[in-house]
Amino acid sequence: MSLARRFDLVIFDWAGTMVDFGCRAPVNALLEAFGRRGVSLSEQEVRRDMGKAKADHVRALLDDARIASAWSAAHGAAPSARDCDAVIAELGPLMREQAAQAATLIDGARATVEALRAAGLKVASSTGYTREMMQPVLERAAAQGYIPDHLVCSGETPQGRPSPLMIYKACAELGVWPLSRVVKVDDAETGVAEGRAAGCVTVGVAASGNGVGLSAAALAALPASERAARIAAAGKALYAAGADLVLDSVATLVPALERQTG
């Protein structure tokens, strides 16, 4: 069975899925934004809510008891709504800088998009970045041959992930239905939950994404057993979030979907 008989649209996340192997840019930007305010975060803390709109992500971090306590120690008071807004505002330029530096396509991403289009499918994208944050990423991705048919950014729907509204917006504007004919591909548990909430076929990517959190070079440098264990743990978390299928990266998406249509 051809892909087009089963699917009409594939919606890809960006960081950790199509660009930025290891989803490093948003982590680095958040670490710096909080560090400037005298609050040290761990990567684990930052990655816990990855995939949410960046404003929601900042709010979630400040709602964490450990981080709120550290903020109070640094500033003499618990974080306020004004503090949250200030961090969000400061995050924008940091995120643009980090995202632009990390906008290299993940190996196999362009070939996967070309194969999907050759099979007659549309290709859309969504992100927890605002459109302003995404501008340098879009430019660099286009220079590498990736221009999705549609993009939904943080703040362009009443709610962000894990709500399904970003997917609904893309489908409405591209004229695609039912949602069972849509594939959502994401490296973060929040993005997988979004796909499940929308009723899409949902694919998690483990090795390139937030769960492992290492650059391609750093991951390749690990002993084989440790590398396999980290990828397996990330895959387990994506399945637990509701993924129908988990792959190492988008490079193997097309054959995996072809097996689903058999």
Domains of the chain (ranges; CATH) run: 3-23+104-261 (3.40.50.1000), 25-101 (1.10.150.240)
52 is catalytic: no
- Note the pLDDT of residue 2: 87
What is the residue-averaged pLDDT of the chain? 96
- Note the pLDDT of residue 222: 98
The percentage of residues in the chain with a pLDDT greater than 90, rounded to a whole number, is 98
Q: Taking residues 163-169, report their average pLDDT.
A: 98
One-letter amino acid identity for 240? A
Q: How many CA atoms lie within 13 A of 140 on its CB side?
A: 21
Task: Give 65-80 pLDDT, tens digit per residue.
Answer: 999 999 999 999 999 9
- Note the pLDDT of residue 260: 83
- Note the pLDDT of residue 1: 52
Q: Are 213 and 43 in contact (CB under 8 A)?
A: yes
State how far the Cα of 80 lies from the Cα of 56, in Å rounded to an integer. Answer: 15
40-44, 167-171, 256-260, range with the lowest pLDDT: 256-260
- Note the pLDDT of residue 88: 94
With H, G, I as helix, E, B as strand and everything else as coil, classify residue 47: helix
- Note the pLDDT of residue 86: 95
State how far the Cα of 14 lies from the Cα of 10, in Å rounded to an integer. Answer: 13
In angstroms, the Cα distances linking 161 to 12, 199, 230 are 14, 14, 25
What's the DSSP call for residue 104? P
The alpha-helical segments, DSSP class H, found in the chain are: 24-35, 43-47, 54-63, 65-75, 81-101, 109-118, 131-143, 165-174, 189-198, 216-221, 224-240, 253-261
Q: Taking residues 38-48, report their average pLDDT.
A: 96
Task: Give 201-230 pLDDT, tens digit per residue.
Answer: 999 999 999 999 999 999 999 999 999 999
One-letter amino acid identity for 171? C
Q: Taking residues 111-138, report their average pLDDT.
A: 96
H/E run at residue 186: strand 182-186
Of residues 8, 49, 52, 54, which has the active-site annotation? 54
Strand order in the sheet with 201-205: 150-152, 122-126, 9-12, 182-186, 201-205, 245-247
122 is catalytic: no
- Note the pLDDT of residue 158: 96
pLDDT of 109 > 60? The answer is: yes
Between these two residues, 80 and 262, which has the higher pLDDT value? 80
